[in-house]
């Protein structure tokens, strides 16, 4: 058994498991984000400009009770929901590792250049993002509970409950570094898999756009990431008679042929200049032959003139 046969056998053995994990990842990730947004994020009270400037307008350096107390009170009362839903999101992100690694390894087996950076990102970034989200939710819940348990309600107590080097580092990783790394992973793996014929063009571009949406959130819910993960899982499971692209069975890259040459052949080849393809050249007009005037007709014209 050569290396290609071993690779195909390994991919076939793991295909069903990876397909299920891709669907589970998409469902849990979307469900956790949607429920968290509906139950917690959308209902979190916000502090307006007038409320923030109220102490200064009354001539006070700082309010005796910081206006942000209502936010910390809400967070403390919804700490369980925030932590549980963060765990659900983290499980969905952790399951995202398997479809990404599976697709990356399939690309390398078909001649793709093995990049250690991509392998590291696909293996560790999804789980890191999930763990970071849970840690941040737990840290904020503990800070809010400690704030409400003490008598101090000033701005210094609020900063102690919500700030600090640890929470700042977690926020940077959760909201900037990890999403950026996951976006690069999605874009790079999806585009290379599409180039090798492992993904259709629709799935390839969909994965690239889903990756960009990790850092540019146009919608509050990760709908496009859900569509790509579930679609990839259904493709691997071959649900409803769906066929895998030919590159999976061939064990080598089979790029998608461009449709332009096919359309050109269907229309018919023709010269590039002077006329449209597929049309016969117009025949040149026949030269006109001058009519000869007979002698009799010339004499009749002379008689009429007289």
pLDDT at 62 > cutoff 90: no
- Tell me what pLDDT residue 292 has: 47
**Lowest mean pLDDT across 87-101, 248-262, 289-303:** 289-303
Distance of CA 82 to the CA centre of its chain: 25
Q: Which residue has the higher pLDDT, 110 or 301?
A: 110
- Tell me what pLDDT residue 145 has: 92
Residue spans per domain, the chain: 20-185
**Lowest mean pLDDT across 96-110, 198-212, 240-254:** 240-254
3-class SS string, the chain: CCHHHHHHHHHHHHHHHHHHHHHHHHHHHHHHHHHHHHHHHCCCCCCCHHHHHHHHHCCCCCCCCCCCHHHHHHHHHCHHHHHHHHHHHHHHHHHCHHHHHHHHHHHHHCCCCCCHHHHHHHHHHHHHHHHHHHHHHHHHHHHHHHHHHCCCCCHHHHHHHHCCHHHHHHHHHHHHHHHHHHHHHHHHHHHHHHHHCCCCHHHHHHHHHHHHCCCCCCCCCCHHHHHHHHHHHHHHHCHHHCCCCHHHHHCCCCCCCCHHHHHHHHHCCCCCCCCCCCCCCCCCCCCCCCCCCCHHHHHHHHHHHC
- Please give the average per-residue pLDDT across 289-303, as a whole number: 48
Q: What percent of the chain has pLDDT over 70?
A: 77
- Tell me what pLDDT residue 27 has: 97
pLDDT tens-digit readout, 33-43: 999 999 888 88
pLDDT tens-digit readout, 125-176: 999 999 999 999 999 999 999 988 887 877 888 888 888 899 999 999 999 9
pLDDT at 269 > cutoff 50: no
pLDDT tens-digit readout, 92-112: 999 999 999 999 999 998 887
Note if the pTM is more than 0.85: no
- Tell me what pLDDT residue 267 has: 52
- Please give the average per-residue pLDDT across 288-305, as a whole number: 49
- Tell me what pLDDT residue 23 has: 97
């Amino acid at each position: 058994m050569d290396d290609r046969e071993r690779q195909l056998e390994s991919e076939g053995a793991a295909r069903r498991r990876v397909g299920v994990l891709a669907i589970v990842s998409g469902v849990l990730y979307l469900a956790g984000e949607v429920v968290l947004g509906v139950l917690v994020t959308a209902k979190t009270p916000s502090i307006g400009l007038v409320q923030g400037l109220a102490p200064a307008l009354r001539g006070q350096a700082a309010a005796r009770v910081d206006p942000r107390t209502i936010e910390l009170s809400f967070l403390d009362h919804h700490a369980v929901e925030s932590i549980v839903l963060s765990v659900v999101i983290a499980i969905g992100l952790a399951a995202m590792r398997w479809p990404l690694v599976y697709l990356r390894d399939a690309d390398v087996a078909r001649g793709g250049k093995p990049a250690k950076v991509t392998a590291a990102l696909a293996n560790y970034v999804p789980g890191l993002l999930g763990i970071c989200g849970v840690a941040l939710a737990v840290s904020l819940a503990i800070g809010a509970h400690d704030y409400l348990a003490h008598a101090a309600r000033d701005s210094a107590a609020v900063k102690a409950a919500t700030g600090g080097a640890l929470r700042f580092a977690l926020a940077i990783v959760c909201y900037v570094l990890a999403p950026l790394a996951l976006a690069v992973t999605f874009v790079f793996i999806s585009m290379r898999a599409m180039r090798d014929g492992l993904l259709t063009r629709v799935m390839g571009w969909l994965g690239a756009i889903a990756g960009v949406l990790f850092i540019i959130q146009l919608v509050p819910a990760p709908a496009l990431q859900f569509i790509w993960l579930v679609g990839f899982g259904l493709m691997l499971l071959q649900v409803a008679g769906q066929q895998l692209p030919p590159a999976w069975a061939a064990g080598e890259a089979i790029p998608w042929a461009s449709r332009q040459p096919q359309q050109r052949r269907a229309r018919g080849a023709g010269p590039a200049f002077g006329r449209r393809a597929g049309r016969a050249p117009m025949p040149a007009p026949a030269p006109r032959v001058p009519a000869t005037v007979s002698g009799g007709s010339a004499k009749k014209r002379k008689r009429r003139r007289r």
